[in-house]
Amino acid sequence: MSFITIDAYYDVNFYNQCKEALKNNSIKFTEFIEIKSPYRWFFKLEDTIKPIMINYDEINKNRFIVRKVQALRPNEEYLLQRRGSTEGSNITKYIYNDAFEDSKDYGVFINISSRDELLRLSKEFPGKIYYLGKYYGNRFRVCLVNNSMIKNYINTSQILLEKTPDMKEPGRFEAEFNYKVLKHNDYIYKTTETIYAQNGSIIRPKVFDTTNTKYFI
């Protein structure tokens, strides 16, 4: 896969024009954001697709990039449109959804074996268990929980990554998971609202993203 950035050469308005051109030409892409200065934005394109007639920089992997949140509703697409300077904490609204917002202070990624296990855990554990999807060739079914009590209800081997004090900056916890656990073979997929399990039920957003099957339980 190729990650393309044009930030060193063009302004935000031109970035958004390029994004619309990709849509108009039916080119599949994903937006990524660098969580450290200079906070560059990237388009992930298929390897066979290279921009022409514009200047760009290309990388294969970057430890400090994460996916931009995917809008579920038209008005959210507008709210998540890139605008102005995105340095520092201003990137938070683009990379945090409900699950990661709830995990700003503490979070732990866990691996579950099945839908049945998720439902069982939600009956026993008194809190939300956000389901983030299947990753790394379906090796992991990843959940995110913002309460360390979850460790009392699972095996130690199910803990994929626990947030530590050095992961406090926005996006760092997610970036470390992409790097240490998924080995950059995959990247956490986020929508503005996340499926979660609680009290023995699975709660889906009223508008559900059907474009990415890894998100299905």
Asked which of 38, 72, 95 is the last residue of a domain, the reply is 95
Asked which of 66, 95, 124 is the last residue of a domain, the reply is 95
- Whole-structure pTM over 0.75, yes or no? yes
β-bridge partners, 162: 108
Q: What pLDDT, on a 0 to 100 scale, did the predictor assign at position 207? A: 78
Name residues of the chain where pLDDT drops below 70: 1, 85-89, 208-216
Pair 210, 103 in one domain: yes
Pair 117, 183 in one domain: yes
Q: What pLDDT, on a 0 to 100 scale, did the predictor assign at position 60? A: 80
Beta strands in 126-179 (DSSP E): 129-135, 140-145, 159-162
Q: What pLDDT, on a 0 to 100 scale, did the predictor assign at position 152? A: 97
HSE-CB for 193 with a 13 A CA cutoff: 12
Instruction: Using alpha carbons, select from 78, 5, 4 the residue that is nearest to residue 46.
Output: 4
Residue 164 and residue 85 in contact, taking contact as beta carbons nearer than 8 Å: no
Phi/psi for 148 (5° steps) reads: -65, -15
Residue 117 and residue 158 in contact, taking contact as beta carbons nearer than 8 Å: no
Residue 161 and residue 177 in contact, taking contact as beta carbons nearer than 8 Å: yes
Asked which of 95, 117, 136 is the last residue of a domain, the reply is 95
Domain containing residue 26: 2-95
Q: What pLDDT, on a 0 to 100 scale, did the predictor assign at position 193? A: 95
Residue 95 and residue 65 in contact, taking contact as beta carbons nearer than 8 Å: no
Give the burial class of 175: count Cβ atoms within 10 A of its Cβ; 0-12 exposed, 13-18 middle, 19 or more buried.
buried
